[in-house]
Amino acid sequence: MAIKKALGEFAQKRGNRLVKNIVSAIDPMGLIVNEEQFIGPQYELKHPEDIGDIDVMIIDLAECIIYSLKSKSMSPNRNIKQMIEEISKLFGSDSEDGWIDKHMKRDEWIKNNLYQLGKKFSIDLTGFQVKSLFITEEDMLTPYLRKMSLP
């Protein structure tokens, strides 16, 4: 159990570093950039259930686009077992949503809650387009193995 906890903490640190790298690569001029925006019943952005967080949200006021970025720092696959685990984490199973499914739920929430989001940032987001991206630190083999439409 101690090893699992240590590996989880290590993965969290790698993930936090990836978010910081993404944010530092963005020129914030004319943008609203927000990190770790949680959505759920106990958060400022309300949803009946906790649907997780948007790692990086970018609101481009000039282009009227909201970018929702989900980042995952994953080790590159080294064997078949790891590739199967990667697919399971990304796409889930019959009983559990994967990372992509969860990201798509947040994408749908943003599209359906522009007023609530705009209220948080004191701007009118009427007519804004939403683009959601899933970013990994390493190239992954999975996209070549399984095709799935993303938002």
- Residue 151 located in a structural domain: no
What is the value of pTM for the model shown?
0.76
Q: 83 vs 40, 75, 77, 99, 113, CA distance in Å? A: 31, 11, 6, 15, 35
pLDDT exceeds 80 at position 120: yes
- Residue 150 located in a structural domain: no
- Residue 56 located in a structural domain: yes
Chain position carrying tokens 């949200």: 57
Q: Tokens standing for 74?
A: 């994953």
Give the chain's domain count.
1
- Residue 80 located in a structural domain: yes
Asked if residues 31 and 58 have their Cβ atoms less than 8 Å apart, the reply is yes
DSSP assigned state of 126: T
Q: What percent of the chain has pLDDT over 90?
A: 36
Domain residues for the domain of 127 are 2-145
- Residue 98 located in a structural domain: yes
- Residue 139 located in a structural domain: yes
Q: How many helices (H) and strands (E) does the chain have?
A: 5, 4
